Amino acid sequence: MANNNVKLQKLTKSILMHGVIYLLAFITIAPFIWMILTSLKDISDIFVYPPKWFPDKIQWNNYARAFQAAPFGRYYLNSIFVAVTVTLGQLITCSMAAYAFARLKFWGRDVLFYIFLGTMMIPYQVTMIPSFMVLHWLGWIDSYQAMIVPGLASAFGTFLLRQFFLTIPKELEEAAYIDGCSKFRVLWQIILPLSKPALATLAIFTFMGTFNDFIWALIVVNSEHLRTVQLGLAVFRDRYITDWDLLMAGSVMATLPILIVFFFAQKYFIKGITLSGIKG
């Protein structure tokens, strides 16, 4: 009897716990569900009170209309081009720098490394204005270079990869050196293949960060044909203030690639967060 009572109590507690946490999870993702459902509704299903969750008839047409109202295809191309270029660039520059900091002993290396680490504490707001001016002097304002070049190096990425390289046993490289390999070949053929998890983490962080970037694109780009998805969406908002069907269709398009990347690469992303505690 008493035993049954304890069991019942445990079961009630467990059900209650599940209820609370699933309710909270629902509240957290409700905005996304709401976004997707709104993007598929006819205007007559949008401006109703009380709100209706499901559309009477699914309006795929909203997406076509959004594409007509603004060149989202072009925005996409720009965003993906910029994000992919920056990501590839960072993978190269960061792994080279990280290898130098992790393996090559030379005069001044540690001082350089500490300066490097120190720059991670500088908020981007401090460098934003002169960086803009540098781009202006180079004549690069309103160009792809302006969105790409400043992102081609990263203290965070260099640090992340250096820490990982340090965990790789040195013996592997020594054998290669005896066979006469150059440093570059060692990095390329031994270190990098062993560092795939760290490279994946960096790639995902950089891709997401660049794809989602708003303020930098806002500052350095004006022309319509250079706008990224985020910038395009913000301009779209000003033009179609309450056309929620179009605005939500645009939002779905701006979030979809990131959601897809995230679902496939979650493991690396969460690992990166716990490693660094920053960036999101």
Partner 1 sequence: MYIFMNQKDYLKQQHRKNFITGILFLTPTLVIFSMFILFPVLFSFFLSFHKWNMFSSSQSFIGFANYQRLLTDPEFWQVLKQTIMYTLGTVPLNMVIALFLAMMLNKKIKGKSFLRTAFFTPVIISPVAAALIWRWIYDPNFGLLNYATGLFGIPPVNWLNDSRAAMAALIIMGVWKTLGINMVLFSAGLQGIPDTYYEAAEMDGAGRWSKFWNITLPMLTPTTFFIMIMSMISSFQVFDIVYVLTSGGPMGSTKVMVFYMYEYAFKFFEMGYASAVAYIFFAMLAILTLLQVKYMRTRSGYEGI
Residues 40-59 within binding reach of partner 1 (CB under 8 A)? 46-51
User: How deeply is 2 buried, as exposed, middle or buried, from its count of CB atoms within 10 A (0-12, 13-18, 19+)?
Assistant: exposed
CA angle at 206 for the pair 201 and 211, rounded to the nearest 5°: 130
Number of residues that bind partner 1 (CB under 8 A): 89
Q: Which of 70, 161, 199, 247 binds partner 1 (CB under 8 A)?
A: 247
Write phi, then psi, for 245 (nearest 5 degrees): -60, -45
Owner of token pair 């920053």? 278
Q: Does 219 bind partner 1 (CB under 8 A)?
A: yes
Q: Which is nearer to partner 1, 85 or 93 (CB)?
A: 93
User: How deeply is 235 buried, as exposed, middle or buried, from its count of CB atoms within 10 A (0-12, 13-18, 19+)?
Assistant: middle
Distance CA 43, CA 47 (A): 6
Q: Which is nearer to partner 1, 1 or 24 (CB)?
A: 24
Q: Does 11 bind partner 1 (CB under 8 A)?
A: no
Instruction: Please state the closest distance from residue 14 (CB atom) to partner 1, in A.
Output: 7
Judged by CB under 8 A, the chain residues 138 through 177 that form the site for partner 1 are 149-150, 152-153, 155, 158
Q: Does 197 bind partner 1 (CB under 8 A)?
A: no
- Residue 277 is given by DSSP the state S
Nearest-Å Rg of the Cα atoms of the chain is 25
Segment contacting partner 1 by CB under 8 A, of 54-62, 66-74, 193-201, 244-252? 244-252
Q: Which of 3, 4, 123, 223 binds partner 1 (CB under 8 A)?
A: 123
